[in-house]
Structure 1
Amino acid sequence: MGVIGDAFGKLFGFLGDLFGGLFGVIWDGIKWIGNLLGILLQSLLDPILLFFEAIYGLIAGLLHLLFMIGVLAVKLFLVIFETAKILWSLVIGFGKTLASLSYSPSSSGGHGYSEMIGKLFKNLEVLQLNSIAYILLFMLWFMTAISAIKLISSIRVGGD
């Protein structure tokens, strides 16, 4: 190239190294300031985020508690409702049994079952088994009622 080309090449090489080093120092300073601001900002945001995470956890816990109280109330209502249905069925059955203790045969127009049962009862009156049958029937229902109450009281609610 020549003397002038070498001189300009060295000059631009020197200026390039000078500005490259100067811009490198400036870029390193900007990166250092950015890291410092990031660390300061992160140290300021961490306690605020921790506070809001704690508040969020508290609200989530309270809402879960309210949900589980609602689930418990529904389960308790269902258990009480089913128990009441069983007891009502027991009372109805006991009442029907007591009502059927006074059987009076009558003739019906459609079929002869009532008349046939009436004749059977009239023939059995000689043996006087009516009283014993009524007592045994009453004892049967009484024992059924006691067993049902024991069974209902022994039921545990929950997934133990």
Structure 2
Amino acid sequence: MIGNIFSKFFQFLISLLLSIGSFLKDAFQSLFDMLFDLFRWLGQLLERLFQALIDVLVSFFMVIYELIKGLLYLLYMIGVCAAKLFLILWEVAKLVWAFVVGLTTTLQSIFFTPGAGSGNGYSSIMGKVANGLSIFQFDVVAYILLFGIWMFGAFGVIRIFGSLRGAGD
């Protein structure tokens, strides 16, 4: 019987401790839940308060970033334009040089006298052809045609300059 009393007493004590533990567990759980909700509410409050400031800072730095990006693109396009201008000037210089070479070649061919000491292999052949064709007297026809070409070119230049009469005003 004493064992039965002690058994019931210990069962009561254990159930009492379990109920106290359950009560403490529920109390601490609700306390921790309340603290967690409090911290979450404070975090949301701080997020709402500082979100406007963060948005202003981000938009300010985005404007600066876009400005720098635009300036770098402007510098890039200035470089592209400079390169294109250089290529245009290079092509114009090549064109002028080709014109000078063509003009000197033309003037040289006017005064061509075939001979053995001209310096290339074709000059002796051209000399033989020129001597063979001298019977037909093509040199007179060539001079007349050359005069016509030069006169046609001169009238063309005069016509071009005449059309520029009012262009400088």
**Aligned-residue offset at 1:131:** 3.4
Q: How does 1:38-77 map to 2 (within 5 A)?
A: 38-77=47-86
Distance change (3 Å), C-alpha of 1:83 and 1:12: same
> What is the identity, as a one-letter code, of the residue corresponding to 2:102?
G
**Deviations 1:90-126 (Å, cap 9, x if unpaired)?**
2211111112211223333999864564454355445
> Partners of 1:109 and 1:95 in 2: how far apart?
17
Deviates more, 1:119-128 or 1:49-58: 119-128
> Against the structure 1 CA distance between its residues 13 and 70, is the aligned structure 2 distance closer, same or farther, given a 3 Å change threshold?
same
Matched with 2:31 is: 22
Give ranges in structure 1 of 5+ residues lacking alignment.
Answer: 147-160
Cα distance per residue 1:20-77 (max 9 Å; x no partner): 1112111110111112112222221111111101110111011101101111110121
**Structure 1 residues 56, 134: CA separation in 2 closer, same or farther (over 3 Å shift)?**
farther
* Cα distance change of structure 1 residues 18 and 115 upon mapping to structure 2, 3 Å threshold: closer
**TM-score for both structures, normalised by structure 1:** 0.73
* Matching of residues 9-158 of structure 1 within 5 Å: 9-108=18-117, 114=123, 117-118=126-127, 120-122=129-131, 124-136=133-145, 139=149
Match for 1:91: what amino acid? Answer: V
1:120–1:28 distance in 2 versus 1, CA, 3 Å: closer
Is 2:8 aligned against 1:8? no
Alpha-carbon distance in 1 for matches of 2:118, 2:61: 83
When residues 53 and 29 of structure 1 are mapped into structure 2, their CA distance, relative to the original with a 3 A threshold, is same
**Equivalent pairs: percent with the same residue?**
42
Where in structure 2 are there 5+ consecutive unaligned residues?
1-9, 157-169
| Larger radius of gyration between Structure 1 and Structure 2 | 2
Alignment length, in residue pairs? 143
Q: Distance in 1 between matches of 2:118 and 2:94?
A: 36
Provide the alpha-carbon RMSD of the alignment: 3.0
Deviates more, 1:24-33 or 1:83-92: 83-92
